[in-house]
Amino acid sequence: MTLEFDLFWSFRSPYSYLATPRLAALQEEYDVKINVRPVYPIAVRIKGFFKQVNPLWPPYLLKDTVRIAEMEGLPYAWPSPDPIVMDIKSGEVPEEQPYISRLTRLGVAAAEKGKGMPFLYEVSRIIFGGVKGWNEGTHLQEAAARAGLDLAELDALIEKDPDHYEKTIAENEAAQKAGGHWGVPLMVFEGEPFFGQDRISHLIWRMEQKGLKKRS
């Protein structure tokens, strides 16, 4: 029996990026289905979040993510441009969010095409992998193609019915909360939440208790 779990994931989360190669490898090695459920980052979901955050957190996050990337052998740099438009000094996040809105909707469209994991893998790699101007030229188009998707087709689907994608994102965020956590990456297996890129081994351990098998 194929096991499955929900993956709540954000295009602005470095930890989501750092977890993705291992999650993709998990799906390739084991008989498991990953239900990709993109959500908006916490900066969008919780108004004023960065006005209240502990000032020690951002510098620690940068040190920690650089360390993990080095350990995992992954290319890593803070995105240019940042998927979130915000005033770094004040923590103000405007309502208009052209980058993250498009990316999150594209993630939903890719998941509905059955290519969620490849799309997350390829797109996050250009966002966090040191590609300056990842939103310009053909970077996104080529990343989508490597995932087996046509970017123009995805954009057309979203333009035709944007409310559908926003509704799905809202449903994903509600399911994330119901799953027991607010952060990403969050894996929820049979109602049990596993939060963070360092909980993948725990997730595998639990699924093995439930009969997880390697692919033949």
Q: Fill in the amino acid letter for 127.
A: I
Strands 32-38 and 3-9: parallel
Active site residue 16: no
Sequential DSSP letters for 116-180: HHHHHHHHHHHHHTT-TTTTSTTHHHHHHHHTT--HHHHHHHHHH-HHHHHHHHHHHHHHHHHHT
Give the active site residue among 10, 13, 16, 101.
13
Of 169, 201, 196, 171, nearest to 185 (Cα)?
A: 196
Give the active site residues: 13
